[in-house]
Amino acid sequence: MQVPLLDLKEQNDILRPEIEAALARVLDTNGFILGKEVAELECELAGYCGTKYAIACASGSDAIVLALMALDVGPGDEVITTPYSFFATVSAITRLGAVPVFVDIEPETYNLDISQIEARITERTKAIEPVHLFGQCVDMKELNAVAAKFGVPVVEDAAQAIGSEDRGIRAGGMGAVGCFSFYPSKNLGGMGDGGFLTTNDDDIAKKLLALRVHGSEERYYHKYVGLNSRLDGFQGAVLRVKLPHLDAWTEKRQINAARYRQMFTDRGLSEHVSLPVERKNVRHIYNQFVIAVPGVRDELRAHLTEKGIGTDIYYPVPLHLQECFAYLGYKAGDLPVSEKAAAVTLALPIFPELKTEQQAAVVDAIAEFFEQ
């Protein structure tokens, strides 16, 4: 049985009439850049995330750059973050001339190990940037306590975590700024690139609104050197159609995750495969369902590929070992938990429309691999 890592066709087919009607609204009103659809989407996103503001931009990558710019991060400043994340988490820091300071991750959640942060804070630390990886929030109560002790703002990289919660508060509402992505593979994905930021701070919101349009608060008058990072009206219209379905899609992902757990248990695979660990008091939205397979991850992936089952590796090389960041001076062995995660993790299909028989085919193929 063919089981893709992600299949959006069924979802798009169901929503197609609504999407086509939404796109027609944009055509009829010429609201191609920002415009009414994006403004309405921003209001709806702020309500969903429980924040005062939601500010749309061109991508999740831009969202992080804009957030750091709004906090005046610049050359020589340091930003504490994780090495186990997508490239944009760190490239946003270096694009501003700042220095990423890496802290290793927890072995079970793959999120930032907060116990290591305080030792890495210096007089140059300008921000802390945790990543809510795979759809599960960092322990923000603990992290914010450390940040507050030193007066350092927190930028939440919530690209994979829209709707995720820690102690009842949603991602993007627990730091100074939250950064999100609308990349099509996300739980709330557009039909192209897009992103948004959240904040409860009036001054930060005002600055972000200017920074996304070349640093201009009034057209042709530029207070800052900003970016050209605006969400287009077509994406805004599509996302407005999708947003009301997000919680139902997330619930289906959670059901799929629970079903995987039962299937792995029933097949006696616990000695071979480690399943995702959920922290207490969190809402995990399962943007990815990532297992750990020590020693034979690549061989298992090859076997699943032969069986027609889609997988991916998030992420095969931790950021501190990427060639472009060699100048930072990190070497293999410096961040061992991240390095181990990069060697053993494998993402399985978890999209909302995934069928029970497809999940069974995935687990059967994994069991077959270990029975050889």
pLDDT in tens, 229-285: 999 999 999 999 999 999 999 999 999 999 999 999 999 998 999 999 999 999 999
- Prediction pTM value: 0.95
Backbone CA torsion sign across 148, 179, 64, 206: negative
pLDDT of residue 132: 98
Q: Which residues contact 265 (CB under 8 A, 6 or more apart)?
A: none
Q: Cis ω on the peptide bond leading into residue 110 (within 30° of 0)?
A: no
Residues 116, 139 share a domain: yes
Residues 250, 239 share a domain: no
| DSSP one-letter code for 147 | H
In a domain, residue 330? The reply is: yes
CB 99 within 8 A of CB 77: yes
Residues 226, 249 share a domain: no
Structure-token match 């992420």, residue found: 315
CATH number of the domain where residue 364 is located: 3.90.1150.10
pLDDT of residue 80: 98
Residues 50, 80 share a domain: yes
Closest CA to 305 of 366, 371, 262: 366
Closest CA to 187 of 50, 308, 353, 71: 353
- Domains contained in the chain, number: 2
Residues 104, 17 share a domain: yes
Task: Give the CA radius of gyration of the chain.
Answer: 21
Give bridge partners of residue 129 from the DSSP assignment: 81
In a domain, residue 54? The reply is: yes
Boundaries of domain holding 326:
245-371
Instruction: Report DSSP letters for 43-90, one per residue.
Output: HHHHHHHT-SEEEEES-HHHHHHHHHHHTT--TT-EEEE-SSS-THHH
In a domain, residue 176? The reply is: yes
Q: Express as a percent the part of the chain with pLDDT over 70.
A: 100
Least confident segment among 23-37, 44-58, 68-82, 317-331 = 23-37
CATH number of the domain where residue 64 is located: 3.40.640.10
Instruction: Report DSSP letters for 338-355, one per residue.
Output: HHHHHHHEEEE---TT--
Residues 251, 172 share a domain: no
Residues 32, 180 share a domain: yes
Which amino acid is located at 144 in the chain?
N
In a domain, residue 3? The reply is: no
Residues 279, 240 share a domain: no
State how far the Cα of 186 lies from the Cα of 159, in Å rounded to an integer: 8
Residues 140, 15 share a domain: yes
In a domain, residue 2? The reply is: no
Question: Which of 244, 278, 304 finishes a domain?
Answer: 244
Question: Which of 219, 244, 269 finishes a domain?
Answer: 244
In a domain, residue 167? The reply is: yes
Q: Tell me if residue 365 falls in helix, strand or coil.
A: helix
Residues 256, 192 share a domain: no
Provide mean pLDDT across the span 154-158: 98
Whether residue 338 has pLDDT greater than 90: yes
In a domain, residue 331? The reply is: yes
Whether residue 194 has pLDDT greater than 90: yes
pLDDT of residue 372: 79
Question: Which of 187, 212, 244 finishes a domain?
Answer: 244
In a domain, residue 4? The reply is: no
Whether residue 31 has pLDDT greater than 90: no
State how far the Cα of 342 lies from the Cα of 9, in Å rounded to an integer: 30
Instruction: Report DSSP letters for 179-235, one per residue.
Output: EEE--TTSSS--SS--EEEEES-HHHHHHHHHHTBTTEEETTEESS---B---BHHH
Residues 327, 190 share a domain: no
Residues 181, 62 share a domain: yes
How does pLDDT run across 298-311, given as a tens digit for each residue?
999 999 999 999 99
